[in-house]
Structure 1
Amino acid sequence: MRTDSAVATRAPTPVGRRIIFYAALCVLAIPFVMPTWWMVTSSFKPISEIFAYPPTLWPQETTLQAYRDAFTLQPFVRQYFNSVYIAMIVTVGTMLISSMAGYAFARIRFPGQNALFLVVLLGLLIPSEVTIVPLFQMFNSWGMVDTHWPLILATTFGAPSVLATFIMRQFFITLPVELEEAARLDGLGRWRIWWYIAMPLARSALAAVAIFTFQHVWNLYLEPTVFLQSPEMFTLPQALTRYTDAYGGQMWNVQLAAASMTVLPVLAIFVLAQRQFIEGLAQTGLKG
């Protein structure tokens, strides 16, 4: 017969350990969830309630005026479209370029291969602030200032492509050599092997590249500020700073409303591709 002390010291059941584990995760998630919660809920508050003390976790007086102002004070729909299509073009372009470069560095042997790959990786060490002035002079001489071409070209061939090339190379290294040998016996060349065999197998790595690149382009601020001048050409990060009143003060409720709408595409892409994203990081050696 078991004593009371033995029952009290009994180890938790698997279900109990799982409950404790999820409870601990919920507590640890609070510092990460609270800023987003405050941003979204404050976008429905009057500006006086945003700065109320003590702060409220839920609007006492719900209003949609900030969302209406976000669309009336600026061409927000056009700016939203600008960010979406620029991010999509750069993401697709980066996926194609990085997959070709990564495949070449991983599967094709040529003189100076490792040295050239090291030179490519050095691009990660160059801050964008160092190259922004010569880039502006170059695109200005081509008549591309106040267009979206500088953002598309400079970003597609910039730091995101370097990181993406590294991710794709690490993935293609793990592919069995027998796949290429079998493809060559079937008469496939390098291009067809890359497109018909390597690319379908690299969906998880491509998902990681897509999320990294889309998030980077979506959050660009320095480059749009330098290259764009017309409000109709602005992207969202640049547009968020332009919600000011007649005295130059920040319209915090309108900025929070616009920021809440800004995070939706990145959140949606991560939710839809999170499994492939995690698999891609695990297979390319970037897991923590």
Structure 2
Amino acid sequence: MSLRAKTAMYGLLCVLAIPFIFPTWWMVTSSVKPVSDIFAFPPSIIPSAISFDAYRDVFTLQPFAQQYWNSMYIAIVVTIGTLCVASMAGYAFARIKFPGANALFLVILTGLLIPSEVTIVPLFQMFNSWGLIDTHWPLIWVPIFGAPSVLATFIMRQFFLALPNELEEAARMDGLGRFAMFRQIALPLARPALGAVAIFTFLHSWNLYLEPIVFLSSSEKFTLPQALTQFVDAYGGPMWNIQLSAASLTAIPVLVVFVIAQRQFIEGLAHTGLKG
């Protein structure tokens, strides 16, 4: 490809990226604007005056630091738990032959077709009978053993199916058992798929909204999606500058996780057949 063609292509990509970048830029810049300038028309790209008072108010109006930690540790635990469950289940469905494996896998995949709203009432009754309402346990158990884990299992299975059989045959000749083959051979090779699963899972847990508003009632136990709705004035109206400041802080971990794992994420999609 010639230099002129490359320049034209990158220029076109930059133009096409504007609709995706502008909302984030507007959110961040509006968080430091005066409230009167947030909805000015036409919208200002660069703030005329900058104030970080809204970021201070985020932490004084409610226990935002605790809520931030709640979302962070829940997302990390859910991601690690899902990686463990999905990698072992995906390996079992891909490499271990047992009667009814395909039928059982199809049954598991039907979990992707069931909306979370359908199961939320039975789940609430179950966790209520266990005395786990207004705790973080439902927010950990439901994603690990629910629909997100099903998608993760599918991704891992597709990746393990593509591994050459010769790898396991050589490992078996060296005296390795099934779990040793999984841990020492299959799992290290599955780094791209694990990266894709980690991003999907972390993002899902970080943005989880329905389950927190059902299972949690104490503000100090809220997660960030639920906490963002609590920044309202005395009349119930939104405090826009504070909400935008909180939303800007909320987006940071997602961006960090994606930047760290983006290479594995792209390779994982390519190996599992999910690319467009």
Uncovered stretches (5+) of structure 1, i.e. residues with no partner: 1-12
User: Given the two structures, how large is their TM-score scaled by the length of structure 1?
Assistant: 0.95
Q: Which residue matches 1:225?
A: 213
Is residue 202 of structure 2 the alignment partner of residue 214 of structure 1? yes
Work out which of the residue numbers 154, 157, 170 in structure 1 matches 2:158.
170
Aligned equivalents of 2:113 and 2:126: distance in 1?
22
Work out which of the residue numbers 191, 200, 211 in structure 1 matches 2:179.
191
CA offset digits 1:209-238 (Å, max 9, x no partner): 000000000000000000000010000000
Question: 1:38 is aligned with what amino acid?
Answer: W
Q: Counterparts in 2 of 1:44-123, with a 5 A limit? A: 44-123=32-111
Q: SS in structure 2 opposite 1:145?
A: coil
Aligned equivalents of 2:66 and 2:20: distance in 1?
31
Q: SS in structure 2 opposite 1:263?
A: helix
Aligned equivalents of 2:125 and 2:154: distance in 1?
29
Question: 1:35 is aligned with what amino acid?
Answer: P
Q: Counterparts in 2 of 1:1-16, with a 5 A limit? A: 14-16=2-4
Aligned equivalents of 1:275 and 1:232: distance in 2?
36
CA offset digits 1:176-223 (Å, max 9, x no partner): 111111111111111111111110000000000000000000000000
Alpha-carbon distance, 1:46 to partner: 1.2
Aligned equivalents of 1:166 and 1:25: distance in 2?
32
Q: SS in structure 1 opposite 2:131?
A: coil
Aligned equivalents of 2:210 and 2:270: distance in 1?
32
CA offset digits 1:34-61 (Å, max 9, x no partner): 1101000000011111122222111111
Aligned equivalents of 2:10 and 2:136: distance in 1?
45
Work out which of the residue numbers 9, 18, 21 in structure 2 matches 1:30.
18
Question: 2:45 is aligned with what amino acid?
Answer: L
Work out which of the residue numbers 240, 246, 251 in structure 2 matches 1:263.
251
Aligned equivalents of 1:111 and 1:148: distance in 2?
37
Uncovered stretches (5+) of structure 2, i.e. residues with no partner: none
Aligned equivalents of 1:152 and 1:133: distance in 2?
17
Aligned equivalents of 1:121 and 1:144: distance in 2?
28
Is residue 253 of structure 2 the alignment partner of residue 274 of structure 1? no
User: Given the two structures, how large is their TM-score scaled by the length of structure 2?
Assistant: 0.99
Aligned equivalents of 1:72 and 1:15: distance in 2?
53
Q: Which residue matches 1:9?
A: none
Q: How many residues align?
A: 276
Q: Which is greater in Rg?
A: 1
Q: Which residue matches 2:234?
A: 246
Q: Which residue matches 2:145?
A: 157
Q: SS in structure 1 opposite 2:133?
A: coil
Aligned equivalents of 1:174 and 1:50: distance in 2?
51
Q: Which residue matches 1:146?
A: 134
Is residue 11 of structure 2 the alignment partner of residue 20 of structure 1? no
Q: Which residue matches 1:4?
A: none
CA offset digits 1:1-53 (Å, max 9, x no partner): xxxxxxxxxxxx71111110000000000111111010000000111111222
Question: 1:212 is aligned with what amino acid?
Answer: F
- Deviating beyond 3 angstroms after TM superposition, the runs of 4 or more aligned structure 1 residues are none
Percent of aligned pairs with the same residue? 71
Work out which of the residue numbers 276, 279, 285 in structure 1 matches 2:273.
285
Q: Which residue matches 1:125?
A: 113
